[in-house]
């Protein structure tokens, strides 16, 4: 969901941000799996069609080429740190750029009820403006 939301936000920007490539890759993803039905529905409720999404496993090549690597939880970050060589210096939590957030982690809704996907979506939406602002400092 995070990639779809960020892609949507960047499409509304001008200049180089609009052309940034946003990739979704998971530490436990299998290539080609569709997004969960609940995640697709949660995004559809905010006007984003993610029905064509298919999963991709995280690779060192993706990490090495990334301007920014975002994850939802400290557990995800620890997994990436453990498998990456070298560890990406640009590895951050999705909510880390927000000014004094109450909590940094976004619980992974996978396997939970629809409400968990909606909550995760809303927490990502709340963080997107701060990510866009950070990217503006990185891309000129």
Which CATH number do you get for residue 92? 3.40.50.2300
What's the pTM value of the predicted model, to 2 decimals? 0.92
> Does the residue 64 lie in any domain?
yes
Mean pLDDT (the chain, rounded)? 93
> Does the residue 108 lie in any domain?
yes
75 Cα distance to chain centroid: 15
As for how many domains the chain has, the answer is 1
> Does the residue 140 lie in any domain?
no
Q: Which domain holds residue 58?
A: 2-135
CA-to-CA dists, residue 139 to 14, 17, 125, angstroms:
12, 7, 21
64 Cβ neighbours under 8 A, 6+ residues apart: 88
How sure is the predictor about 33, in pLDDT bands with cuts at 50, 70 and 90? confident
> Does the residue 82 lie in any domain?
yes
CA-to-CA dists, residue 50 to 95, 103, 129, angstroms:
22, 27, 20
> Does the residue 26 lie in any domain?
yes
Q: Tell me what pLDDT residue 53 has.
A: 83
């Amino acid at each position: 969901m995070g990639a779809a939301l960020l892609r949507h936000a960047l499409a509304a920007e001008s200049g180089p941000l609009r052309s940034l490539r946003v990739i979704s890759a998971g530490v436990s993803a299998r290539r080609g799996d569709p997004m969960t039905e609940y995640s697709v529905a949660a995004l559809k409720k905010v006007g984003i069609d993610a029905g064509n999404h298919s999963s991709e496993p995280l690779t060192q090549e993706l990490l090495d080429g990334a301007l920014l690597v975002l994850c939802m939880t400290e557990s995800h970050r620890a997994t990436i740190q453990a498998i990456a060589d070298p560890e990406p210096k640009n590895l951050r939590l999705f909510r880390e750029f927000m000014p004094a957030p109450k909590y940094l982690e976004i619980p992974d809704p996978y396997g939970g009820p629809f409400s968990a996907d909606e909550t995760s979506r809303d927490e990502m939406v709340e963080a997107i403006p701060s990510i866009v602002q950070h990217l503006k400092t990185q891309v000129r």
